[in-house]
Amino acid sequence: EDLSNKLREEFKENVIKDAVQESLISPNVRADDKPDFRIVGQVFDTYWIIEYKNSMYIIDQHAAHEKVNYEKYLKQFKENGVDKQYLNPPVVISLNGQAEAVVNEYKDNLDKFGYEIENFGDKEYIIRSVPYNLLNLDYADVLQEFIGKLDSNMGSLTNDTINDRIATMSCKAAIKGNMAISEREANELVSTLLTLDDPFNCPHGRPTMIEISKKDMERKFKRIV
């Protein structure tokens, strides 16, 4: 049984890693539009050091990926809806009366968020799709939490609620700290991040990067005063 659990966890980690890497490898920025930066290296399997515009930046790979995901998901939501990944096989969940009411009230909105869900008889529902690159494999728990958040806003889906849900999705789909990615993948991530209008904070307010200018560094080493 211990071996079975260990293999299951290893499989889950590999699925998550593969999905994250797929989302990073896909070029998001045209070659002509790529910022001119240089990757110096990585520390603590989490922070990437780059040289860009006469400054050194230390970039948190999780916060950076969360920010990139957020902007992508928000744009998709406003246009045709968040890209979906279909589950094979679909996941069946049971909902209580209040959760059913939320699903029925927000069915079209759930679809725009990437959740395709339909009644399977009585209080059971089938989850046919989830947001693309949503890496948490316990889709039932993810959807239940999502429904619970919508429940508190029953009757009105405000912009704040939409932004909050997309921020949560973006966090779940992001590369984590201490999760290895290649320099090529980091290059794509940083390229996309630096082309955003506001690349400096993730949707939850954490900094994506810390800047140390060349001048500040020279002052630290007393090369200039």
Query: Are the C-beta atoms of 117 and 128 separated by less than 8 Å?
Result: yes
Measured CA to CA, the distance from residue 111 to residue 26 in angstroms comes to 24
- For residues 91 and 127, the answer to whether their CB atoms sit within 8 Å is yes
How confident is the model at residue 133, as a pLDDT? 73
Give the rounded percent of residues in the chain with a pLDDT score beyond 70: 81
E strands in the chain: 37-43, 47-52, 55-60, 84-94, 116-119, 124-131, 209-213
User: Which tokens hold the place of 88?
Assistant: 């094979």
Angle between helices 139-151 and 97-105 (to 10 degrees): 80
**Sheet with 124-131: strands ordered across:** 84-94, 124-131, 116-119
Q: Percentage helix, strand, coil, to 5, in the chain?
A: 45, 20, 30
Burial 6-27 (b: 16+ CB within 10 A, else e): eeeeeeeeeebbebbbebbeee
Beta strand 84-94 with 55-60 is unpaired
Cα–Cα distance, 23 to 175 (Å, whole number): 9
Q: Which helix (H) or strand (E) holds 71?
A: helix 61-78
Give the pLDDT confidence of 19-65 residue by residue, as tens digits: 555 556 555 555 556 788 999 999 999 999 999 999 999 999 999 99
Domains and CATH numbers, the chain: 2-71+178-220 (3.30.1540.20), 84-131+134-172 (3.30.1370.100)
In this prediction, residue 136 has a pLDDT band, given cuts at 50, 70 and 90, of: low
Q: What is the mean pLDDT of residues 74-81?
A: 90
The pTM (predicted TM-score) of the whole model is: 0.79
pLDDT number for residue 145 = 80
